[in-house]
């Protein structure tokens, strides 16, 4: 069994998980910020 | 974004790139397992960082139970969420390493099972926080975090007291690691800690913003309900 794809898979999966998490943080922050601005406009 | 934050991000990116270089290029190839052993340079530092964050969550939860401060509760949810991200990586990179080395993806031994249980505990913690309603959510979550943390020492000690498939611990396990391998582990751990701190900072800002929204909502509903 060639182990190299497993090595790359582990490193890629790590950064995909971190990337998805950062993306959810940004999305949630923008949503909260928009909601707060909407309230302040009222 | 403010300049200190940008500097912190630049430092973290540099540290992560250096750690990656150490793990993939500088560290020698392990004689028995070959290159697949390099997964170790992400798997182990992720586990140590996860444990650090769960420990921070434990102390923040105790702090919250005694003082009931918003800061302690925000730190607790922040560290639990970021810790869970690192723990998810541990649970995924472990089986990816195990398949070519052991010939199996997973086995229900004490180390692997307790690691999965720890992941489930913090998933439950975040589910409680997300879906529980009422004023006692933070208290319930803090109590769950304090009792759930009991699994952390069990995860570490499981390979000492049970016969497991998992290798012996890097620290205190009696095995000897090549100095260059040690450097790769420690550089990556340092990079992951710095990265975790930046993630925690962003998650904490999000928590503050969400609390502002909740307070504004509560205030608005109060004003709408009050007699004019």
Question: Are B201 and B143 a contacting pair, CB within 8 Å?
Answer: no
- How far from each other are the two terminal CA atoms of chain B, in whole angstroms? 42
Q: Which of A10, A29, A32 sits opposite B42 (nearest CB)?
A: A10
- Burial per residue of B129-162, b for 16 or more beta-carbon CB atoms within 10 angstroms, e otherwise: beeeeeeeebeebbebbbebbebbebbeebbeee
Dihedrals phi, psi of B34, to nearest 5 degrees: 80, -155
Strands (E), B73-224: none
Whether residue B39 lies inside any domain: the answer is: yes
> Any idea what DSSP says for residue B169?
P
Q: Is residue B217 part of a domain?
A: no
Q: Is B121 a member of any domain?
A: yes
Segment B45-93, tens digit of pLDDT? 999 999 999 999 999 999 999 999 999 999 999 999 999 999 999 999 9
pLDDT class of B2 with cuts at 50, 70, 90: confident
Instruction: Tell me the backbone φ, ψ of residue B30, rounded to 5 degrees.
Output: -70, 140
Q: Which range (B37-46, B88-97, B218-227) has the least confidence?
A: B218-227
Of B42, B92, B206, the CB nearest to A29: B206
Which of B5, B23, B39 best tests the A interface by mutation, with the highest count of A CBs <10 A?
A: B39
| Structural domain containing residue B81 | 3-204
Q: What is the ipTM of this complex?
A: 0.94
Task: Please indicate, yes or no, if residue B225 is contained in any of the structural domains.
Answer: no
Q: Write the pLDDT tens digit of every residue in B45-54.
A: 999 999 999 9
Residue B210: inside a domain, yes or no? Answer: no
Inter-chain CB proximity A10 and B93 less than 8 Å: yes
- B213 within domain boundaries: no
B24 CB burial (10 A radius; 0-12, 13-18, 19+): middle
**Per-residue pLDDT tens digits for A1-42:** 788 999 999 999 999 999 999 999 999 999 999 999 988 887
Cross-strand bridge partners of residue B30: B34
Tell me, yes or no, whether B93 lies in a domain: yes
What pLDDT band is residue B163 in, cutting at 50, 70 and 90? confident
B84 → chain A, closest CA residue: A21
Query: How many distinct structural domains can be found in chain B?
Result: 1
In angstroms, the CA B55 to CA B76 distance is 10
Q: Does B215 map to a domain?
A: no
Residue matched to tokens 């290159």 = B35
The residue ranking higher by pLDDT, B16 or B179, is: B16
Asked if residues B82 and B101 have their Cβ atoms less than 8 Å apart, the reply is no
Q: Is the pLDDT of residue B178 over 90?
A: no
């Amino acid at each position: 069994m060639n182990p190299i794809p497993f090595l790359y898979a582990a490193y890629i999966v790590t950064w995909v998980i971190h990337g998805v998490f950062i993306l959810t943080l940004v999305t949630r922050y923008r949503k909260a910020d928009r909601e707060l601005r909407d309230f302040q406009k009222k | 974004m403010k300049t200190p934050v940008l500097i912190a991000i630049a430092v973290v990116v540099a540290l992560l790139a250096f750690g990656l270089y150490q793990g993939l290029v500088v560290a020698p190839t392990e004689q028995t397992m070959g290159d697949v052993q390099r997964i170790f340079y992400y798997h182990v530092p992720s586990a140590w960082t996860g444990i650090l964050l769960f420990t921070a969550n434990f102390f923040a939860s105790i702090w919250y139970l005694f003082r009931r401060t918003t800061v302690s509760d925000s730190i607790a949810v922040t560290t639990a969420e970021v810790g869970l991200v690192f723990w998810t990586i541990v649970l995924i990179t472990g089986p990816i390493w195990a398949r070519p080395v052991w010939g199996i993806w997973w086995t229900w031994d004490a180390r692997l099972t307790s690691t999965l249980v720890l992941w489930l505990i913090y998933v439950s913690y975040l589910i409680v926080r997300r879906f529980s309603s009422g004023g006692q959510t933070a208290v319930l979550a803090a109590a769950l975090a304090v009792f759930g943390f009991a699994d952390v020492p069990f995860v570490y000690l499981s390979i000492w007291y049970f016969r497991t498939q998992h290798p012996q611990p890097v620290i205190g396990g009696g095995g000897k690691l090549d100095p260059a391998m040690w450097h790769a582990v420690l550089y990556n751990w340092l990079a992951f800690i710095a990265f975790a701190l930046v993630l925690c900072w962003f998650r904490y800002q999000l928590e503050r913003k969400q609390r502002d929204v909740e307070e504004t909502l509560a205030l608005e509903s109060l004003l709408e309900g009050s007699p004019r």
